Amino acid sequence: MRDFLRAARADDAASGTTRWGTHRSDLAVTYLGRGLGGETLRAADCSTGEQKALLLSIILAQARLTRYLRGQAPILLLDEALAHLDSGRRRALFEVMLDLGAQAWLTGTECDWFRPLGHAAQHFDIADGKITNVNF
Alpha-carbon distance of 111 to 59, in angstroms, equals 23
Q: Between the CA of residue 132 and those of 7, 43, 52, what are the distances in Å?
A: 53, 38, 29
Instruction: Say what the pLDDT of residue 77 is.
Output: 96
Shared-domain flag, residues 52 and 106: yes
- 127 and 79 in a single domain? The answer is yes
- State what percent of residues in the chain have pLDDT above 90: 54
Residues 38 and 89 in one domain: no
What's the number of domains the chain is made of? 2
Residues 61 and 113 in one domain: yes
Q: Which pLDDT band holds residue 35 (cuts at 50, 70, 90)?
A: low
Clarify whether residues 91 and 61 are in a common domain.
yes
pLDDT tens digits for 38-72?
778 888 888 888 888 889 999 999 999 999 999 99
